[in-house]
Amino acid sequence: MTTIKTLGKRLITGTVSWLIMTTLPGIASAEFVLADGITSGLVIEAEMPWESTDTESAGDIAVTNVEFSLNIEPVHGVAGNVIFKWEDEGVDVDEVTITLHDLLNENFYLETGLKGIPFGVFNSHMISDPLVKELADAKETVIQLGYSIDMFEVATGVFNGSIDEPDTDNKPDNFFASAAFVPFAGTSTSISWTSDMGEAGLEDYFLTLPDSTPYMNVAGIGLGMTSELGLFTVELEYVTTLEEWQSHPGSSDPIKPSSWNTEVACSLNNMYGIAVRYEGSSDFPGQPEARYGVAGKCQIRGNLSLGLEYLIADFDNNNDDPNTITAKLALEI
């Protein structure tokens, strides 16, 4: 009987999510024609998540993302990129970079500015971000040197992180390196490294450490592969620290955080798509040991898309694991 009630609750909440999202007011699309060498883009996303356990449930309706981007190329070999992002506190500059192409020859480039470091790829066909992104995504002000051709790209750079080891100066002393290549048509692979994974998804965790707990830099590595097989796309990714952090609040046991993601997606006529995910993590504070689910997406009008996702999370030693249904309406220009 409990199983029937739980299933009924999921079906009802899923139907309500779908009806509310499909009846939201329409959003008019527009093209931004500014000047030669200047292009722009706009992303607006609204979501209705609903999370339930055996004991309680909660939901919301929110605009989760508003982004406006400008890409400027005033002369050949010089490019600028700015992304403005709206959040609860107002509008912030989320990313800003200057890129010099044709540095030594047509394949070398130099980039500087605020951006996500090239550690991990985080490809996903679901609504929610994969756990690998939650763990490894780091946005920093960097200097990056790269070499790119059709089948191969390498990059390396330096940045100044927010967390420093005791008795060290505040200076750019964190490094990264990445390589991506296409071994054969339809498949791309990548490997990336950073000198300190604590600057990514664990930053807030380590900033709450007691003053008596020394921080140490711990390097991380990421591996990824994307393979397109007809209508299907397979995503595989794994990120992990290479050493253990020797102490953390409330425990004397070391931690060695890692996470992995597996997805299979199917796209039909660029109008409809469905994806399944199975992912997990280890020693990642506050995140589930495993999570799996399914998502569907359809283009309903021009650049307007509607998605629906259902995820089940499995936390270690927790008999009241949450189930989450999320509906999403997105406009991308």
Tell me the pLDDT tens digit for each residue of 9-20. 333 333 333 333
**Band (25; pLDDT cuts 50, 70, 90):** very low
Look at residues 163, 164, 160 and name the one whose alpha carbon lies nearest to residue 142.
160
Please, are residues 138 and 155 in contact by the beta-carbon 8 Å criterion?
no
Please, are residues 323 and 36 in contact by the beta-carbon 8 Å criterion?
no
Amino acid at 26: G
Domain boundaries, the chain: 103-287
Given a cut of 50, whether residue 145 has pLDDT beyond it is: yes
The pLDDT, as a whole number, for residue 248 is 55
For 185-239, write each residue's pLDDT tens digit: 999 999 999 999 988 888 877 777 666 667 788 999 999 999 999 999 999 999 9
The residue assigned the tokens 């690998």 is: 132
Burial class (CB within 10 angstroms; exposed 0-12, middle 13-18, buried 19+) of 294: middle
Instruction: Give me 131's structure tokens.
Output: 């756990």
**Band (103; pLDDT cuts 50, 70, 90):** confident
Alpha-carbon gap, residue 119 to 146, rounded angstroms = 14
**Band (34; pLDDT cuts 50, 70, 90):** low
3-state secondary structure of 204: helix
Alpha-carbon gap, residue 313 to 322, rounded angstroms = 6
**Band (30; pLDDT cuts 50, 70, 90):** very low
3-state secondary structure of 199: helix
Alpha-carbon gap, residue 175 to 171, rounded angstroms = 12
Task: Report the mean per-residue pLDDT for the chain.
Answer: 85
Look at residues 113, 35, 103 and name the one whose alpha carbon lies nearest to residue 81.
113
Region 285-309: mean pLDDT is 94
The pLDDT, as a whole number, for residue 35 is 67
Contacts (Cβ under 8 Å, ≥6 apart) of 182: 150, 151, 152, 188, 189
CATH of 103-287, one of 3.40.50.1100, 3.30.9.80, 3.40.50.280, 2.40.160.10: 2.40.160.10
What is the CB-side half-sphere exposure of residue 171 using CA atoms within 13 A? 4
**Band (162; pLDDT cuts 50, 70, 90):** confident
